[in-house]
Amino acid sequence: MVMFGHNLVMKTVRIAELKARLSHHLRRVRAGEPLTVLDRNTPVAKLVPLDEDDDIVITKPAPGTPSFASIKMPPPTKLPFDIVELLLEDRRRR
């Protein structure tokens, strides 16, 4: 658990546990409990109840907008190095 604010205790959950019990954790957030999501003990996200006064507006795409499935992707880039090895090396340094 992580202390947050004056008297509020923020619960923490690892990504695997969040995936396994997502509905349970979302019910707790909906009930007012903030939740910190951890990736290898590093906080990566905070889930908080949605404030009804938030100005969240969801708009539909304009008429005639192509679907994502119909958009052609560019060909993969040929790199002179192995991107996976580069990412692993970066993680090892951290």
User: What is the pLDDT of the chain when averaged over all its residues?
Assistant: 87
Q: How far does the chain reach from its first CA to its final CA, in angstroms?
A: 24
For 56-74, the pLDDT digits (tens) are: 788 898 999 998 899 898 9
Please say if the pLDDT value at position 4 is more than 60.
no
Q: Report yes or no on whether pTM surpasses 0.85.
A: no
CATH number, residue 18: 3.40.1620
- The answer to whether residue 74 sits within a structural domain is no
Residues 6 or more apart whose Cβ sits within 8 Å of residue 24: none
> CB 63: neighbour CB atoms within 10 A?
5
Q: What are phi and psi of 17, to 5 degrees?
A: -65, -40
Query: How many whole angstroms separate alpha carbon 57 and alpha carbon 60?
Result: 10
- The answer to whether residue 38 sits within a structural domain is yes
Which amino acid, residue 76? P
Residue pair 21/29 in contact by the 8 Å Cβ criterion: no
